[in-house]
Amino acid sequence: MYQGDEEVSASSTLVSAQSYNNAILNILDDVAEERSRLEATQTAILNILEDSGEEKLWFGNAQRAIINILEDASTGSEQVAKTQQAILNLFWMTLPMKNSD
CB 1 within 8 A of CB 8: yes
Give residue 5's pLDDT.
43
- The domain segmentation of the chain, as residue ranges, is 2-94
DSSP 100: -
Length of the chain: 101
Give residue 9's pLDDT.
57
Give residue 100's pLDDT.
58
In angstroms, the CA 25 to CA 19 distance is 10
CB 11 within 8 A of CB 1: no
Is the per-residue pLDDT at 79 higher than 60? yes
pLDDT digit string (tens) for 15-58? 688 888 999 999 999 999 999 999 999 999 999 999 998 998 88
CB 2 within 8 A of CB 8: yes
In angstroms, the CA 39 to CA 32 distance is 11
Give residue 83's pLDDT.
86
In angstroms, the CA 44 to CA 89 distance is 67
In angstroms, the CA 69 to CA 77 distance is 12
Over residues 6-15, the mean pLDDT reads: 58
Taking the CA atoms of residue 64, residue 67, residue 69 and residue 74 in that order, the dihedral angle to the nearest 10 degrees is -160
